[in-house]
Every structure is written in C-alpha cells, then in structure tokens.
C-alpha cells in the first residue's frame, strides 16, 4: 500500500517550517538583545540591583546557553530566561498568522529543532533540568495561547481531527 502525498502539501509544510524557524530565531535574538540592554540599564540605575553579578559583554551564544547556573542574582541567567520565555510567548501569537490552526505541531517541531541546534552549538547535550523546565514551560505556553488564538481567529473554518479511523 503506497502512501500518496502531494508534493505541494509537503512543500507548504517545509516552507512554513522554514518561516517559523526564521521568525523564532529572529524574535529570540531581538529579545535577547533587548533584555541584555534593559538589564544593564536597570542595574546601573537602581542601587539595589547594582550588587547583582555583573556581565559586560554581549553573549552571542546566549540563546543556546544552558550551562549558566540558575540564580536570580545572575544577570546572564535572567537575560537568558526572560528572552526565552518572551520569545515563546511572542511566537505563539505570530505562528497563528503563519500556520493558522496547526500551532501545536509547529511549536513542538521548533522546540525539537532548537534542542538540536543548541546541542550542536554548545557541543554537548543539555542535561540541565532548569533549562528543560524553561523550554517545557515556553512550549506549553506557546501551544495553549496559539491554539486558543487560532480557534478564536478561525472559528468558522477550524479543522477538527477525524478520530473515527483510530
């Protein structure tokens, strides 16, 4: 029994995946830069936050860093955490515009791609439990908000899966 797949459908899926990956990493780096600048400005202006662990140089590998020890007083950790979670929240909104009601599928796929790219960039598999918790919370947030928005935007022509064949 041969599986018949239209080339155009496969092409659209890969095209959407490429667009979603580009959007994800663009938002991630923008968020990382904004958080880096924001934390530096706030820590210099506020006397109570001046005692936090300092960092002066921008880390271009920040979006892939899972080795930073989790500490609320570490600026690098806060920048990584805030930029990751804000990326998942923003992309949950944007993916609805790109893939309509398939946000959950693309969110999971982008997360797997991010884990693979992180492993390749850092040259080791991430075993840090705080990193996995952060990724998991971000992905679940993206899925829930994206699916709710997709349902609200495309309620009239929402695609419900046919489960009769299972």
pLDDT at 114: 94
The domain limits of the chain are 31-155
User: What does the block give as tokens for 132?
Assistant: 């996995």
pLDDT value for 159: 61
The DSSP-derived string for 11-68 is: HHHHHHHHHHHHHHHHHHHHHHHHHHHHHHHHHHH-TTGGGSBP--S--TTGGG---S
The whole-model pTM stands at: 0.81
Task: Quote the radius of gyration of the chain (alpha carbons, Å).
Answer: 19
Model confidence at 160: pLDDT above 80? no
- Give the per-residue pLDDT at 39: 81
Place of tokens 């040259």: 123
Give the pLDDT confidence score for residue 19 in this predicted structure. 94
pLDDT tens digit sequence for 125-143: 988 898 999 999 999 999 9
């Amino acid at each position: 029994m041969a599986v018949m797949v239209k080339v155009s459908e496969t092409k659209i899926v890969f095209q959407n995946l490429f667009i979603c990956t580009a959007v994800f990493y663009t938002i991630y780096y923008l968020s990382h830069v904004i958080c880096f600048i924001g934390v530096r400005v706030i820590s210099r202006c506020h006397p109570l936050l001046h005692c936090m662990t300092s960092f002066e140089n921008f880390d271009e590998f920040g979006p892939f860093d899972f080795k930073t020890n989790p500490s609320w007083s570490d600026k690098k950790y806060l920048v990584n955490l805030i930029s990751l979670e804000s990326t998942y929240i923003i992309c949950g909104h944007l993916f609805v515009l790109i893939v309509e009601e398939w946000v959950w599928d693309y969110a999971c796929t982008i997360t797997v791609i991010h884990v693979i790219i992180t492993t390749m960039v850092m040259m080791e598999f991430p075993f840090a439990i705080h990193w996995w918790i952060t990724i998991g919370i971000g992905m679940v947030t993206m899925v829930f908000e994206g699916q709710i928005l997709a349902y609200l935007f495309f309620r009239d022509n929402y695609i419900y899966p046919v489960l009769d064949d299972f």
